[in-house]
Amino acid sequence: MSSSSTALVTGGAGFIGSHLVRRLLANGLKVRVLDDLSAGKEENLVPVIQDVELIRGDICDQTLLQASLKGVDQVFHLAAIASVPRTVEDPVHSAEVNQMGTLKVLEASRQAGAKRVLMASSSAVYGDEPGFPKAETMVGKPLSPYAWHKRSGERYGQLYQDLYGLETVSLRFFNVFGPRQDPSSPYSGVISLFMAWALTGRPLIVFGDGEQVRDFIYVRDVTRALCLAMDTPRAAGAILNVGTGIKTTVNQLAQEVARASAKKLAVEYSPPRQGDILKSYCDPSLATDILGFTARSSISEGLKETWQWFAAQSN
């Protein structure tokens, strides 16, 4: 990315978005954020808020979206209703934001002459399709409106590249964690919940037997993958997994959180949740081949930094 470039980050005040904004600024880019602050928080952008052009608004507002894209070279589209339960409870409104909102971002980007749009997809698109690890060649069996929204966004991205020549890349994030992940969010990851409970010495609640397998990736690695995907010519039109390929059970995670917090934490087991996927981990080789991307942060390193952030917030 050229240091003279301007990047738009939709959802830039959110968990992943705020980390990406910092990385883009560190790389010398001008950064514009479009966020309605329904899930993101302005304080997530402290202390870089003075270096960012923050536009408060909705991606479904076409006029505002067009204004936000003036002079923009790269678009990182992270804004979404990222809650599976909310999309189940309100499939129509969530589709308006996640599907139509994505389509509007693509169309406005095309009209503005943006060079490339990076879209945040999700491992949710794989659903309960059998076979491991999850590879991009799998068709997927989405189990929620959210998963279908993300799959639809990938297809729209490829269509816009094929039909209009707008370069797009979709990155399927696996279980992202790190500082500023909100444990009160309806889509909060298990790690932020464990951190919040560890702060108060509460037992860590595990649903089922704790042998569910996940692929946890530190947010710093995710933002690096986003920037590589923007910069790599070969990535145009690609759909790529962004994960570690390392299998971690929830029981192992509980032990790692206890180690990071230096606390003796009890673990309590609750009945398994309906629809909980037992195994989810990726084959990261395509991202390695195309982007040269390999996750660098181990789960223990990431958890240590995440714990330090959560502990600092409680003081």
What amino acid positions are annotated as catalytic residues? Answer: 146
Q: What is the CA radius of gyration of the chain?
A: 19
For residue 52, the one-letter residue type is V
What secondary structure letter does DSSP report for 271? Answer: P
The answer to whether residues 269 and 209 touch, using CB atoms and an 8 Å cutoff, is: yes
* CB atoms inside a 10 Å sphere around CB 185: 15
Closest to 103 in 3D by CA, of 155, 36, 156, 146: 156
Angle at 247 between CA 242 and CA 252, to 5 degrees: 125
Characterize the bridge pairing of strands 248-249 and 52-56.
Answer: unpaired
What is the rounded CA–CA span in Å between residue 50 and residue 124?
Answer: 35
3-state secondary structure (DSSP) of residue 179: coil
3-state secondary structure (DSSP) of residue 160: helix
> Which two structure tokens, joined as six digits, stand for 99?
């599907």
